[in-house]
């Protein structure tokens, strides 16, 4: 969410506070069925607080994709598969439009589409659910799933089956859980509002220094920290807010600094996105146990799809190529992990290599073109 305009970011954060307060009160005094009917209205009201046109878009998108998902289980044989693919593509139309608009700015922007990259994946997951389970969607559950305000702009990416189950059988909410979730909410806000502001200043100053290798390395490490603060801070807020209602929001970061390989790293960083791409595209296409060549191909493809998911530009293509190549090499060489009991200095070395290389890729997301050029020049200066 760091890339949004400041006023939109503040409105989103303010909306999270309002959502948390309203949901806790509603949970206390209303029954679960009444709460399920109330939450989509609350979500839309808060989205409208951020942007009225954004609320209009998501209201329409939710209804339309519900109808599309309903069609996913229709037909027989090969025709059923064709309908399934068409349903997935129809859910992704707004996403592809906004990506092509980046290439062709003259295309009109009829609606605000903040968060469409995340919500398109949620809609496609619902299509998968109908197609593979043969079950119908519950409209109230689907509306809650698609409009769930805490994850509307930056994830974590929910799965319909898990969210519907959690909504139907919420976890008990008591003093202990509220205290835990409130602490996590404060921690998330502290990361995003306080620490991020300080780190952003440090990064800007490092990126403006005379090009030198050590300053460029420092800028990469600070860039890594900035991206982690932003994304994990937002995940903390979303998970805490879900907890106020007894709803389980998946973890998105699982101690990525402990990863000894890039394969492990991407199982611990932005977990909901990498899992979604792997499970919905490549595992479904293959459908059986993988050998190292297939694993390398899927790892490479996952990173390429992730890069293009972020944007249709050369920067993201190169980012996907780099991360995909690293995963492919690890699979082919059999170095996706280390043996139990391995020398601790070797483990530390592997962790440092992963962190340093990944930190380099983050500067393409956190720096503007002028800052990026200056930092890159630092790596080749003497």
* Confidence tier at 26 by pLDDT (50, 70, 90): low
Partners of 253 in the β-ladder: 269
- Which range (6-10, 155-159, 241-245, 256-260) has the least confidence? 6-10
- Cβ–Cβ under 8 Å, residues 46 and 149: yes
Mean pLDDT of the region 230-239: 90
pLDDT at 175: 81
Percent of the chain with pLDDT over 90: 40
pTM reported for the whole predicted model: 0.87
pLDDT at 15: 64
Mean pLDDT of the region 88-94: 93
Whole-angstrom distance, CA of residue 208 vs CA of residue 166: 48
Is the pLDDT score of 162 beyond 90?
yes
Whole-angstrom distance, CA of residue 47 vs CA of residue 68: 23
Judging by beta carbons within 10 Å of its beta carbon (0-12, 13-18, 19+), is residue 6 exposed, middle or buried? exposed
Mean pLDDT across the chain: 86
Structure confidence by residue, pLDDT tens digits, 29-65? 666 677 778 888 888 988 888 788 889 999 999 999 9
End-to-end CA gap in the chain: 36
Structure confidence by residue, pLDDT tens digits, 310-363? 888 888 888 899 999 999 999 899 888 888 888 889 999 999 999 999 999 999
pLDDT at 1: 41
Whole-angstrom distance, CA of residue 191 vs CA of residue 182: 14
pLDDT at 283: 59
* Confidence tier at 107 by pLDDT (50, 70, 90): confident
Mean pLDDT of the region 232-245: 88
Mean pLDDT of the region 206-228: 93
Whole-angstrom distance, CA of residue 379 vs CA of residue 382: 8
Q: Map residue 260 onto helix, strand or coil.
A: coil
Structure confidence by residue, pLDDT tens digits, 129-151? 999 888 999 999 999 999 998 88
Element (H, E) at 1: none
Is the pLDDT score of 279 beyond 70?
yes
Q: Which residues contact 239 (CB under 8 A, 6 or more apart)?
A: 156, 181, 184, 249, 251
Pick the more confident residue, 214 or 11.
214
112's torsion region: left (phi>0), alpha (psi -120 to 50) or beta?
beta
* Confidence tier at 68 by pLDDT (50, 70, 90): very high
């Amino acid at each position: 969410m760091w890339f949004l305009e400041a006023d939109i970011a503040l409105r989103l954060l303010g909306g999270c506070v309002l959502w948390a307060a309203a949901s806790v009160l509603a949970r206390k005094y209303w029954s679960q069925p009444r709460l399920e009917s109330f939450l989509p209205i609350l979500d839309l009201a808060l989205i409208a607080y951020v942007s009225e046109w954004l609320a209009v878009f998501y209201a329409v998108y939710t209804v339309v994709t519900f109808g599309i998902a309903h069609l996913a289980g229709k037909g027989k044989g090969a025709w059923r598969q064709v309908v399934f693919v068409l349903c997935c593509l129809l859910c992704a139309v707004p996403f592809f439009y906004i990506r092509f608009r980046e290439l062709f700015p003259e295309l009109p922007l009829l609606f605000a589409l903040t968060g469409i990259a995340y919500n398109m994946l949620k809609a496609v997951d619902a299509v998968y659910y109908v197609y593979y389970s043969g079950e119908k969607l519950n409209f109230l559950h689907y509306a809650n799933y698609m409009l769930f305000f805490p994850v509307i702009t930056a994830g974590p990416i929910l799965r319909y089956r898990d969210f519907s189950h959690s909504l139907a059988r919420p976890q008990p909410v008591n003093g202990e859980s509220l205290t835990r979730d409130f602490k996590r909410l404060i921690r998330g806000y502290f990361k995003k509002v306080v620490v991020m502001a300080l780190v952003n200043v440090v990064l800007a100053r490092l990126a403006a220094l005379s090009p030198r290798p050590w300053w460029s390395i420092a800028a990469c490490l600070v860039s890594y920290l900035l991206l982690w603060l932003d994304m994990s801070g937002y995940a903390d807020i979303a998970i805490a807010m879900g907890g106020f209602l007894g709803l389980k929001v998946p973890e998105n970061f699982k101690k990525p600094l402990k990863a000894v390989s890039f394969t492990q790293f991407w199982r611990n960083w932005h977990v909901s996105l990498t899992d979604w791409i792997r499970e919905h595209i490549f595992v479904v296409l293959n459908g059986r146990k993988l050998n190292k060549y297939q694993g390398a191909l899927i790892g490479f493809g996952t990173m390429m799809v992730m890069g293009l998911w972020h944007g249709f530009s050369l920067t993201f293509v190169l980012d996907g190529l780099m991360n995909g190549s690293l995963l492919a090499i690890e699979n082919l060489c059999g170095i996706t992990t280390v043996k139990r009991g391995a020398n601790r200095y070797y483990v530390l070395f592997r962790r440092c290599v992963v962190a340093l290389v990944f930190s380099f890729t983050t500067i393409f997301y956190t720096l503007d073109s002028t800052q990026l050029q200056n930092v890159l020049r630092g790596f080749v200066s003497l």
